[in-house]
Structure 1
Amino acid sequence: MGSKVQRRGTIIIIVVLFAGLGAIGYYLQQKKQAYIASPFETIPRDAGLIIEAINMPDFFEEVGSESDIVAEMNQVPALNGFTSSVRFIDSLLHTREIRSVAGANPVLISFHLVGKEKLVPFFAIAAPPEVKERHIRELLSGSGNLSYTVREYEKERILEISSSGKDIPSLYLSVIRGVIIISRSRILVEAGIRQSGEQESITSLPGFSRISSAAGKNDNKIYIIFDNLHRIAGLLTGGSDLGFAGDIPALASCAELDIYLKKDAVTMSGYIQPVDSSDIFSKFITSVPSDFDAYTVIPSNAALFETMTGPCSPGNRQPGLSEITGYLADIIRPQLDNEVTRVYLDIQGQETDNNRIIIFRLKGRNSTERSFRNEFEHNNSEKSSILSYKPDDQSEYTIYKLADDALASALCGSFGTNWGGSYATFYSNYLVTGKSYETITKFIYDNILNRTLANDITYRSFESSMPSRFSYYMFCIPSRITSMLGGEVKPAIITGLEKNITSLRKIQAVGYQFVPSNNMIYNTLSLSFKPDVKEETTGQWESLLDTVVYSKPLFFKNHNTGRKEIFVQDLNNNAYLINSAGRILWKQRLNEKIKGNPVIVDYYRNGKLQILFSTENWLHLLDRNGNYVERYPVKLRSAATNGMSVFDYDNNRDYRIFICGTDRVVYAYDKTGNIVKGWNLYKTTGEVKSEVEFFRVSGKDFLVLNDEQNMYILDRKGNVRVSLKEQVQRAPGSQLRLTTGSTPALVLSSVDGSLNFVSFDGNVEKVKIGDFSARHIFEYFDIDADGLGEYIFIDKGTIYCYDNDRSKLFSSKLDSERITGPFGLVFSSNDKKIGFVDTEHGLIHLIDSRGKSVSGFPLRGSTSFSVGMLSGSNNFNLITGGKDSFIYNYEIVR
């Protein structure tokens, strides 16, 4: 509470002050005149950062749109001073009085370290010449609740402004040759006065005038003084000479970045001016920019990567470098193709250091790997070996266990130190080294599944804000790098970040690039922000398709290995077979979209299985290699209005395939695609949209179908078996089920939401148990596993469950009205659930017999899904598609 009171009191002082200045400016009718002094001349020379706000109120109003992140940063004690200053400025400038003065002229805000851990802002504002100190004193004297004292310092006057409010800190102000300087720190105001009398100002720093002249004239901008910035960075490391903070002064003299603010992004770009050959940035003045290719193989779970282009600078032969590693480096070095990338992967469950890899682009892989392997085998040592990685039964990759971990540093010097490892592999056109076998295999596996940055929506969107050619590129996802900050920043910083990880995730990505230009270094720093944070998928794997999943996934058994595979179609009509590891075995382009659900058949009755499915005009049969069987595809007699149904009446693999046509005829095909002999081409009144259903009751077979107005119950020859005594109109969202009990009946819901019980003697009973719209969903399912089915409705964003006696068991509010099935799911005889897809939010839900969400749900997914056992474990797998063109495999642990 105290800090809020202090902040309000300080703001009151400033508001009154600027209100008076605004009035003075109005009555003096001042015109634009040259400033008596530049605000830069008053900035104390220990400033590490200087913001030049061309229009200060508007600038901080835009910055304030991300104030929730700033608020979370304030939880970190070491950053408290900085973030409170940002909030202070933001609140201060939302006033008409301040805009009347500050909005007219540029304002400088510099940041200084006062004491050990206190970051304090210093304001320098070029005021109109007519505004004098006496005007401010007159204003304060008449304010009533403000008082001031005056003291002299270096022949200048400092006003200490106080408020009658309790616990409100003083504000210090001085007017020096037309510049108003303000700060909460008297020490800083005194430093500003001293600085105004110096011959040299902060603009006298080497290179400052050049970067300033290259800056945008109408843009807000930030200046960085590297020799002073290390003290501010010391807030993170625990000391200005510790960790990365100690390296900052060696970078360059100074930098300028123009600031561009958008609703969801911040971009800064400008120049760095190296002034000495010893400056780190001076080494890049002659570097050659290049395009970036490694993103095509960097896994999408990368937390951070750094890429250098141009020729590598090899390191000296290290004392611990083995002879074989030196030979291998000599083979690789001439084949390097001016791009090396070090990557930190976000892999849970292993040591942080083991998550690091280095990727070298090669001029040609095949000949390089042959020479590498020959040398490796010829000079093999006890510490080295050739390992194999088999992600599935059909693929194998070679991994080299090196004699030491010095190969990367031997190839690219210090850039590879502590990043390369003792494991290496060749993939695509790259050599990859890493610190563990598991990390290398994870890299390979993610590439097999096309789970790379090239296919990551967030990264592809972000990269559009960055230049396409560069000499250096750093990209990171802040929420993923906290684990690698140990030893680099203070533990309190890491603790604060981890505590507020949800807010940190709102910063989706940060990228930094530089390229030589005009004998300087041109920099681009970009940050993307998104307030709605999506949880990352927790599936066993995700595999990229050409576009989003269209059909319900089918579990297909590989008759050669006994393993399960996944058959699915995407929106571009591509059919895929994906193995249990997520690798795409084949892709087959179809001429149409699949209608209904594919099924597995044994066409030849020899245990070798095929996939049967229908499209609008064709019947298809593919073997497990993606080839058509026999005379397939078969042209349908009439374009289909529904998905096919396949029945094997006597379990002898003499299949019957039912499809209804636009001519309103019910067609029965045999497995060869011919019309079944003896089948009566039954014609319905309207078009049939739902699939034909088959039931066997008391030894009799019934084929049941519905058009928009009627229900039809036929025998196996296509003749009417049951004539209904009244009309049954099935709701579009209703399932058709067989009730349990001594006298089975068909149960469905009608358009008016009533239950319809259809007996096999033709009687129809209609029961109303709730008020439901015509767009409701109905399922009859034994969710509580008591042997009797329950009546389940989903309507207008609520799920209702009624017991077999039609009493209400529960109702639960859903987050969406856009719901699709599966619905009833059986995991065992006593474990049953209701599953559905929220297509509006892209989430899959699983609820139990009490209407409660099952642990681990909802999961990310936006298409129809299938549940089955994919691997050899006893756990079930849920296969679904997402909005991002990936197909996901989740393991359901019961």
Structure 2
Amino acid sequence: MAALAYFLQQKKRAYVASPYGSVPLDAGIIIEAVDMPGLFESLVSDNEIIGGMSEIGELQGFTKAVGMIDSLAHNREFNQLAGKNPVLISIHLLGKNRLTPFFSFAALPEVRDKHLRSFMDDIAGYRYTVKEYQESNVYELVKRSTGEPSLFVSFVSGVVIISPSYILVEAGIRQIEQEMDIRDLPGFKSVSAAAGRNENKIYLIFDNAARFISLLTGVSDKGMASYIPGLASCMEADLYIKNNGVVFSGYIETSDSSQILYNYRQQEPGSYDIFRYIPSGTAMFEIITEPVKTPVSSKNRETRYISDILKSQLSGEMARVHLNIKGQDIESNKVMLMDLRGSSATEEAFSSELEQYYRRKDVPTNEYLIKYQPDAESEYIIYRLPDKDMGQDLGGKFGKFIDSKYATFYDDLLVLSSEPGTLSKFLYDNILNRTLANDLTYREFESTMPSRAGYYFYCVPSRIIPLLSGVMKEEIVKGLEKNTESLRKVQAIGYQLVSSNDMIYNTLSVMYKPEVREEAKAVWESLLDTVASSKPLFFTNHYTGDHEIFIQDMNNKLYLINSAGRILWKRPISEAIIGNAYMIDYYKNGKLQILFATKNFLHLIDRNGNNVEKYPVRLRSPATNGLALFDYESNRDYRLFICGEDRKVYAYDKSGSTVRGWEQFRTKGTVTNDVEFFRASGKDYLVVNDDENMYILNRKGNIRVEMKEQVCRSDRSMLRLTTGTRPRMVLAAKDGSIKMINFNGEVQTYTVNEFSDDPVFEYYDLDADGLGEYIFIDGNRMYAYDDDRDRMFSLTLSSDIINGPYGLEFSSNDKKIGFTDTRAGEIYVVDDRGKNLKGFPLSGSTSFSVGRLKRGSSFNLIIGGRDSFLYNYEITR
């Protein structure tokens, strides 16, 4: 009977014994790991951020102990102790700065003290000693080589407890004997009952966690450390680990109405649309979605009057934002956004009241109204306010963070800042749609967060380091600065609160990517509806002399974008542009138009996007190549050449009519390369290549030169005219050989390398010596050969999907070659030694063009990106 009673008691212990009963009551954080080895592997594997925690002095002992426990947990004998029971990891602060872990788990029913000793016997490189505490054995694991103590282990009432601290193990043994345990703390049972059953989870006890803050802020901190206990009682969050980050979600319990988060229990959650206006380069923002109940009135009577005009129009949604404008201090980078129910009438009343105030003060208009003009066709007003208190007058404590000396209106927003230049930058980013709503990284991150909230915090860790100075310990800030590149892999952190079930549901999301995407270093970025598809055309504004950018996107939509990056207009057409677009003067009056071809039409549009005359004109046969445009005598009597599926070469005049006297020459095969025009020795030559032959025609469409030997041109080879006293045409054949074609039909063949079929070829004076060089791209290799066909350099590219190369002339003695690695999304510009121009590679994935947007300015490189933005990079020479 005694044996049976003992057996039943042991079986009962398996169900009753809980590791929570052993956790000392000063735990600030408790992690319940349903699969501890798997959890550690997911969090730590290849994670430089977590790896770097061991460099922080206060965490070295902590990370060392966790690492050892992790290695033990992979032991087969460990599984014989714990089975599939979850492991608790509680975190405690010993002394002033020693963060210490405490591990506990319910042992399997058959486990005895001897099994624990057997487990420790098998740990390589360690021995153990034993001492007794309150009738329980405490084992001390010691390194054989150094005698250094590592861990203390005990087995009490069916629970195994492990810690690097003997004090904590003693506390755990004592705790098991107590009637009250960690689960009896205010709020714990409520959040635990709402937790997922089979998920890794984390608990935060606010009163206890406040002690941890001093590790980050220093022992002298009286602000944040005293603030934490007053937030709430307890929080639980289930832990979901994904390939690109981790999400914590669960409930917060506030057991006292004096706690700061208590009011969120009943707050109606709202959608946070205001983020759509926040610039994409933002370091941090906070959003609230409910009207402020306790605004802080300004001492300035006029500010109160103006605020009263605005208060009735506030929807309640507000954001305080830290921008990331280089060269500005923290205060100057702050803006506050307030959503209005309608801004037009509100701004009129606001402006009128402000005007009366400054008139009474005899302040000239230009001292309180600042005009911001991003280009010649748009204007925004920035207002100087009577004092700096409007933020708190409208936003209460939430608005106190900003010195609101200036204001502007944009869409249905009131925007406040301490600097007019900051508001100008905010406006410009919104004009170009360079906002978080259009940022690929943010959109990916946003999908991990709920769509409604009462409070929303977001930051990019690598950008907030300056904000931490004076808040966190200096050595921690310096450590973060030292590891900025690693920190950039944590691409975003977000936190939200929303009321649910008379509690508060909270979500914390951390997005991590091992491969960091370089931030664009563009002068401006302009958002298209989708990815750019055509080569950008620098189009001259005949009124200002500046250049604008004409481009088409993948949805066949056309855009004209001014030199400041603002989209002037966009319009859809039915087909994609084939080949290049051209700028012409149709009326010969100095006013310019854009000419291009699609598969079935010729198009001519003016700078307002309107069709000219009878355009679009249907082609006689669907096009197989791009449009070629020639102005033989530079008199604007243009000739347009394009080849059709019927294998005819068509010539059109600028009105879209076929040219009289042109013989519609028919090729033997399909033509995919553009028609070329050359003038040599006073004679004109039109050159056409199909898939097997070259045809040299005169301006009437008849054969001018009979080929002595046929040339089979590579589909990706350019046809160029050589330099020198006796110019010849040069191209690459399908087999990769160089073909030199004289204007008498003779052909010379040269081989510089063994290339695969259809290599990319360009002939360009790369070293600016007056003689052209031979540029090949074959697969993922680029080769350059000089005029004597000796190799100058070769490059290994990261992929074989290359757009280009393009010859780039910055001056008569400064020439480069540029190309886009489409797969990698990078632009390269190299010199005659194959070396990248300073600042390259840059981000971009389409064809690009180089020119000057403004007269006398630096060169600009215009290219489309994978994210649907059009980028303008300044090339400094």
User: What TM-score do you get using the length of structure 2 for normalisation?
Assistant: 0.96
1:116-127 correspondence runs (5 A): 116-127=96-107
Of the three residues 290, 293, 298, the one matched with 1:310 is 290
Please tell me whether residue 328 in structure 1 is matched to residue 311 in structure 2: no
TM-fit CA distance, 1:456: 1.2
TM-fit CA distance, 1:316: 3.0
Structure-2 change in CA distance of 1:360 and 1:857 (3 Å): same
In structure 2, how many angstroms separate the alpha carbons of the residues matched to 1:414 and 1:740?
73
Find the residue that maps to 1:585 and give its secondary structure.
strand
In structure 2, how many angstroms separate the alpha carbons of the residues matched to 1:616 and 1:301?
40
* Greater shift in the superposed pair: 416-425 or 604-613: 416-425
TM-fit CA distance, 1:204: 1.5
TM-fit CA distance, 1:890: 0.2
In structure 2, how many angstroms separate the alpha carbons of the residues matched to 1:136 and 1:389?
75
Of the three residues 820, 826, 830, the one matched with 2:813 is 830
Kept in 1: contact 2:461–2:491 (CA 8 A): yes
Deviations 1:105-148 (A, max 9, x none): 12111011123322111011111344233443466568896443
Structure-2 change in CA distance of 1:240 and 1:290 (3 Å): farther
In structure 2, how many angstroms separate the alpha carbons of the residues matched to 1:627 and 1:744?
42
In structure 2, how many angstroms separate the alpha carbons of the residues matched to 1:392 and 1:301?
22
* 1:434 match: 417
Kept in 2: contact 1:642–1:659 (CA 8 A): yes
* 1:229 match: 209
Kept in 1: contact 2:391–2:402 (CA 8 A): yes
Kept in 2: contact 1:79–1:235 (CA 8 A): no
* 2:5 match: none
* 2:537 match: 554
* 1:499 match: 482
Tell me which amino acid in the other structure corresponds to 1:48: G
Structure-2 change in CA distance of 1:559 and 1:141 (3 Å): closer
Of the three residues 350, 356, 359, the one matched with 1:378 is 356
* 2:682 match: 699
Find the residue that maps to 1:379 and give its secondary structure.
helix
Please tell me whether residue 179 in structure 1 is matched to residue 162 in structure 2: no
Kept in 1: contact 2:83–2:107 (CA 8 A): no
* 1:685 match: 668
Deviations 1:269-315 (A, max 9, x none): 11111111111111222211111111221111122111111111343
Structure-2 change in CA distance of 1:476 and 1:85 (3 Å): farther
User: What TM-score do you get using the length of structure 1 for normalisation?
Assistant: 0.94
Please tell me whether residue 151 in structure 1 is matched to residue 134 in structure 2: no
Structure-2 change in CA distance of 1:520 and 1:536 (3 Å): same
Please tell me whether residue 742 in structure 1 is matched to residue 722 in structure 2: no
Kept in 1: contact 2:766–2:832 (CA 8 A): yes
* 1:199 match: 179
Determine what percentage of the aligned residue pairs are the same residue: 55
In structure 2, how many angstroms separate the alpha carbons of the residues matched to 1:887 and 1:668?
34
* 1:510 match: 493
In structure 1, how many angstroms separate the alpha carbons of the residues matched to 2:858 and 2:327?
21
TM-fit CA distance, 1:553: 0.2
Please tell me whether residue 40 in structure 1 is matched to residue 20 in structure 2: yes
Kept in 2: contact 1:595–1:615 (CA 8 A): yes
In structure 1, how many angstroms separate the alpha carbons of the residues matched to 2:411 and 2:838?
40
Deviations 1:247-277 (A, max 9, x none): 1111111111111112222111111111111
Of the three residues 841, 862, 872, the one matched with 1:889 is 872
In structure 2, how many angstroms separate the alpha carbons of the residues matched to 1:117 and 1:662?
79
* 2:832 match: 849
Structure-2 change in CA distance of 1:50 and 1:716 (3 Å): same
Deviations 1:551-608 (A, max 9, x none): 0000011001111100000011111000000000000211211111111100011100
In structure 2, how many angstroms separate the alpha carbons of the residues matched to 1:85 and 1:578?
59
* 2:346 match: 368
Find the residue that maps to 1:594 and give its secondary structure.
coil
Of the three residues 44, 60, 82, the one matched with 2:40 is 60
In structure 2, how many angstroms separate the alpha carbons of the residues matched to 1:211 and 1:807?
75
Structure-2 change in CA distance of 1:141 and 1:51 (3 Å): closer
In structure 2, how many angstroms separate the alpha carbons of the residues matched to 1:188 and 1:298?
47
Tell me which amino acid in the other structure corresponds to 1:549: A
Tell me which amino acid in the other structure corresponds to 1:703: L
Please tell me whether residue 625 in structure 1 is matched to residue 605 in structure 2: no
In structure 2, how many angstroms separate the alpha carbons of the residues matched to 1:446 and 1:692?
42
Find the residue that maps to 1:595 and give its secondary structure.
coil
* Greater shift in the superposed pair: 175-184 or 440-449: 175-184
Please tell me whether residue 588 in structure 1 is matched to residue 576 in structure 2: no
Please tell me whether residue 105 in structure 1 is matched to residue 107 in structure 2: no
Kept in 2: contact 1:400–1:423 (CA 8 A): yes
* 2:193 match: 213
TM-fit CA distance, 1:241: 4.0
* 1:448 match: 431
In structure 2, how many angstroms separate the alpha carbons of the residues matched to 1:357 and 1:886?
25
RMSD: 1.9
Find the residue that maps to 2:453 and give its secondary structure.
coil
Tell me which amino acid in the other structure corresponds to 2:340: L
In structure 2, how many angstroms separate the alpha carbons of the residues matched to 1:572 and 1:831?
37
* Greater shift in the superposed pair: 157-166 or 420-429: 157-166
* 1:347 match: 325
Find the residue that maps to 1:543 and give its secondary structure.
strand
In structure 1, how many angstroms separate the alpha carbons of the residues matched to 2:584 and 2:162?
82
Tell me which amino acid in the other structure corresponds to 1:45: L
Kept in 2: contact 1:314–1:411 (CA 8 A): no
* Greater shift in the superposed pair: 44-53 or 144-153: 144-153
Structure-2 change in CA distance of 1:341 and 1:183 (3 Å): same
Kept in 1: contact 2:277–2:436 (CA 8 A): yes
* Greater shift in the superposed pair: 64-73 or 483-492: 64-73
TM-fit CA distance, 1:727: 0.7
Tell me which amino acid in the other structure corresponds to 2:314: L
Structure-2 change in CA distance of 1:144 and 1:580 (3 Å): closer
Find the residue that maps to 1:397 and give its secondary structure.
strand
* 2:626 match: 643
Find the residue that maps to 2:636 and give its secondary structure.
coil
Deviations 1:693-732 (A, max 9, x none): 1111111111111000000111111111111101111011
Please tell me whether residue 573 in structure 1 is matched to residue 551 in structure 2: no
* 1:3 match: none
Kept in 2: contact 1:55–1:102 (CA 8 A): no
Kept in 2: contact 1:60–1:93 (CA 8 A): no
* Greater shift in the superposed pair: 433-442 or 144-153: 144-153
Kept in 2: contact 1:314–1:409 (CA 8 A): no
* Greater shift in the superposed pair: 68-77 or 342-351: 68-77
Kept in 2: contact 1:60–1:89 (CA 8 A): no
Structure-2 change in CA distance of 1:141 and 1:70 (3 Å): closer
Please tell me whether residue 96 in structure 1 is matched to residue 76 in structure 2: yes
Structure-2 change in CA distance of 1:535 and 1:142 (3 Å): closer
Kept in 1: contact 2:213–2:225 (CA 8 A): yes
* Greater shift in the superposed pair: 877-886 or 359-368: 359-368
Which runs of no fewer than 5 residues in structure 2 stay unpaired?
Answer: 1-7
TM-fit CA distance, 1:823: 2.1
Structure-2 change in CA distance of 1:761 and 1:232 (3 Å): same
Tell me which amino acid in the other structure corresponds to 1:492: E
In structure 1, how many angstroms separate the alpha carbons of the residues matched to 2:72 and 2:50?
16
Find the residue that maps to 2:283 and give its secondary structure.
strand
Structure-2 change in CA distance of 1:498 and 1:143 (3 Å): closer
Which runs of no fewer than 5 residues in structure 1 stay unpaired?
Answer: 1-27
Find the residue that maps to 2:381 and give its secondary structure.
strand
Kept in 1: contact 2:279–2:426 (CA 8 A): yes
What is the aligned residue count? 864
